[in-house]
């Protein structure tokens, strides 16, 4: 199972429930359950989704650069200028690392492929380190808040907070 699927499955157990009951001698009893660990997993999931989205955009742009260079696209055209300009910053650290082959206007720019692989590894590492640093999958904290109000009026109220940690 992939990391994203695992995070998605564990993120859905976030729950908040409110139970209101009528009991003899009490006007209302309200109980709220909040799973703090699930909220933390939701945050981790959202951050890793942002990381993977940024990587996907970068990989698409680098892939476009590779294909345009391979097809010998005109760098002076608007789209070519945009693609080469935005990706030039990301390919620059790898310039001169490997030789490139050219035939006429067509260029096989292997450094773009190397950049794509390195950025994929870097983003995967960042997402993995964040998940490991923030996640405490074995610890689960559940907080229960109970509010009881007796029939005597608004001043007759008792609030109880209970926190349970498993793990």
Confidence at residue 93, expressed as pLDDT on a 0 to 100 scale? 93
CA distances from 75 to 39, 78, 83, 113 (A): 48, 8, 9, 19
> Among residues 44, 94, 86, 43, which one has the least CA distance to residue 64?
86
Model confidence, pTM: 0.65
- What is the rounded distance in angstroms from the CA atom of residue 15 to the CA atom of residue 31? 13
Read off the pLDDT of residues 47-71 as tens digits, 9 standing for 90 and up: 999 999 999 999 999 999 999 999 9
In the chain, where are the structural domains located? 3-166
Read off the pLDDT of residues 9-43 as tens digits, 9 standing for 90 and up: 444 444 555 556 666 555 555 555 666 667 777 88
Average per-residue pLDDT for the chain: 77
CB 143 within 8 A of CB 37: no
- Give the helix ranges, DSSP H, for 22-101: 36-71, 78-91
> Among residues 4, 44, 23, 60, which one has the least CA distance to residue 137?
44
CB 146 within 8 A of CB 159: yes
């Amino acid at each position: 199972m992939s990391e994203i699927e695992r995070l998605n499955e564990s993120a859905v157990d976030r729950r908040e429930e409110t139970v209101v009951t009528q009991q003899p001698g009490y006007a209302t009893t309200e109980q709220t359950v909040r799973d703090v660990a699930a909220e933390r997993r939701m945050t981790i999931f959202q951050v890793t989704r942002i990381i993977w989205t940024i990587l996907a955009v970068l990989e698409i742009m680098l892939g476009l650069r590779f294909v345009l260079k391979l097809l010998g696209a005109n760098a002076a055209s608007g789209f070519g200028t945009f693609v080469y300009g935005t990706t030039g910053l990301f390919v620059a650290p790898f310039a001169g690392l490997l030789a490139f082959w050219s035939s006429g206007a067509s260029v096989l720019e292997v450094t773009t492929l190397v950049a794509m692989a390195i950025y994929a590894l870097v983003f995967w590492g960042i997402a993995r380190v964040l998940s490991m640093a923030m996640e405490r999958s074995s610890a689960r904290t559940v907080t229960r808040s109970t509010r009881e109000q007796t029939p005597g009026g608004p001043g007759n109220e008792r609030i109880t907070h209970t926190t349970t940690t498993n793990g």
